[in-house]
Structure 1
C-alpha cells in the first residue's frame, strides 16, 4: 500500500488539525468571523437556515442538497467531501460513515417507513 494512506479516522483527525492551524492565521480568523456572522444572521431571522450550509457555515456557497433529518443542507464542497469520506475502502472490515455536519465517524440511522425519506 501507499505510505500516504491513512485509516479514515486518522485522515479525518489530520484534516481537523490542519483546519485548526489555518484558523489561527489572520485569514483564518477573518473567515471564522464571517461564519459566525452568518449564524447570527440566521438567529436574527435575516437569513434562512435553508440558505446556509449546515456543515461549513460559509456565507458564499449555495446549498445544493437538503439534509435528510435536519433543517438545512450542504453545499457542493461539503457534499463532495462527505462522499469522499464515505468511499474509503473497508478498514478492518468496518465501513466508516462520517456525519456531513460534524465530520465525525458515526452510524447512519434512517427511518424504515418506506414512504419516509429520512
Structure 2
C-alpha cells in the first residue's frame, strides 16, 4: 500500500450538496451520514461499479479507476457553519475527487493535504 494522506475538506452547504447523477448521489441527513457514505465509497467498489454500468462502453473503463482502500477513514463535523471533513487514505486525490463529485458534486473544497 502507498503512503497515506490526510485530505482536509470543507463543505459549505451539506444539506443541499448532491452529485449530478441521482443514482450515484449522496442522499443523507448530516455529517455522520456523509462520512459513512464517503468511507463506503473508498472501501468498496460498489459506487464505481454503478458509475461504470452507466458508461457507453463499461468494459472499456479502466479498472484502476475503481481502486479502493479498505483502511480509509473519514470524519466529518460541523464547524463555523461549514462541515469539515478529514479523509485519511492511500488513494490518490484523483480518485477521492471522483468519489466526492459522484456523491456531492462540486460542493466541496480542498483545504489542505498532509502526509498521514
TM-score by length of 1: 0.23
Determine which structure has greater relative contact order: mean sequence separation of CA pairs < 8 Å that are 6+ residues apart, divided by chain length: 2
Structure with the higher strand share, 1 or 2:
2
Q: Which has the larger radius of gyration?
A: 1
The TM-score, its normalising length taken from structure 2, stands at 0.23
